[in-house]
């Protein structure tokens, strides 16, 4: 299997622990160094290298499984990275991904804070996500758009899930610590969102077959 975007190695280590013949790539040398250190400490000899998701350094039809969680919506050319993913996957192989879903509670909250509250409601929730969630240029996709993005695959299975921003379940960062933000964190109706708002989760878990 191949993981695209190993980050701190949390998921990659799980693949190794469960016996996978795993390879991993990341755009940053720092992530490769950290994941290598973690895997080595557990007695593994990890196959890791610095690489761009849009130009994977593997032959066609190399892997049975390609996995990427919360990475490919950050690439400048997500369409190209999906094409590369499909190229290195064997016929009949599976890709397991998480890409950001639209519309979502997270996108609506970002829109409220960065657009509506600043008198610029014409900038929509997707625009707010693109400019203010994590790195600039963050993309999000409707399920219909995912069908088009993943058209090279034979079968598509999606599950929309909550992420931390939907429920404000994480500690606010420095830019969200004003009294108004603190009040919003306190009164946010998490239980109602969680009970009735599943369709507006910010994550789409994707399982597709080539």
Residues of 71-102 as b/e, b for ≥16 C-beta within 10 angstroms?
bbbbbeebeebbebbbebbeeebbbbbbbbbb
Average pLDDT over residues 161-181: 86
Does the global pTM surpass 0.85?
A: yes
The domain ranges of the chain are 52-209
Residue 196: is its pLDDT beyond 90? yes
Average pLDDT over residues 166-171: 88
Per-residue confidence band for 128, with pLDDT thresholds at 50, 70 and 90? very high
Six-digit token string for 167: 């429920």
As a whole number of angstroms, the distance between CA 40 and CA 42 comes to 5
Residue 169: is its pLDDT beyond 90? no
65-114 per-position pLDDT tens digit: 999 999 999 999 999 999 999 999 999 999 999 999 999 999 999 999 99
Instruction: Report pLDDT for 175.
Output: 78
CATH for 52-209 (3.40.1360.10, 3.40.50.620, 3.40.50.920, 3.40.50.150)? 3.40.50.150
Instruction: Report pLDDT for 104.
Output: 97
138-166 per-position pLDDT tens digit: 999 999 999 999 999 999 999 999 999 99
Instruction: Report pLDDT for 25.
Output: 98
Mean pLDDT for the chain? 95
As a whole number of angstroms, the distance between CA 54 and CA 20 comes to 24
Query: What are the DSSP calls for the chain, one per residue?
Result: -EEE--TTSHHHHHHHHTT---EEEES-HHHHHHHHHHHHHTT---EEEE-BTTB-SS-TT-EEEEEEES-GGGSTTHHHHHHHHHHHEEEEEEEEEEEEBSS-HHHHHHHHHHTGGGT-TTS-HHHHHHHHSSSTT---B-HHHHHHHTTTSSEEEEEEE--HHHHT-S---GGG-SHHHHHHHHH--HHHHHHH-GGG-SEEEEEEE-
Instruction: Report pLDDT for 134.
Output: 87
Query: Dihedral of CA 57/15/86/7: which sign?
Result: negative
């Amino acid at each position: 299997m191949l993981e695209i975007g190993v980050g701190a190695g949390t998921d990659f280590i799980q693949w190794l622990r469960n016996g996978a013949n795993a390879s991993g790539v990341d755009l940053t040398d720092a992530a490769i160094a950290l994941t290598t250190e973690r895997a080595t400490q557990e007695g593994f000899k990890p196959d890791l290298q610095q690489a761009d998701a849009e130009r994977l350094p593997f032959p066609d039809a190399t892997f049975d499984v390609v996995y990427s969680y919360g990475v490919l919506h950050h690439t400048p050319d997500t369409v190209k990275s999906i094409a590369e993913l499909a190229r290195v996957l064997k016929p009949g192989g599976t890709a397991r991904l998480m890409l950001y879903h639209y519309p979502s509670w997270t996108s609506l909250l970002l829109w409220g804070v960065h657009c509506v509250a600043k008198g610029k409601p014409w900038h929509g929730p997707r625009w707010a996500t693109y400019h203010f969630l994590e790195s600039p240029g963050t993309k999000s996709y409707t399920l219909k758009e995912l069908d088009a993005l993943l058209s090279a695959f034979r079968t598509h299975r999606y599950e929309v899930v909550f992420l931390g921003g939907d429920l404000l379940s994480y500690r606010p960062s420095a830019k969200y610590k004003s009294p108004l933000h603190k009040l919003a964190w306190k009164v946010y109706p998490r239980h109602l969102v969680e009970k009735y708002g599943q369709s507006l989760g910010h994550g789409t878990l994707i399982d597709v077959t080539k």
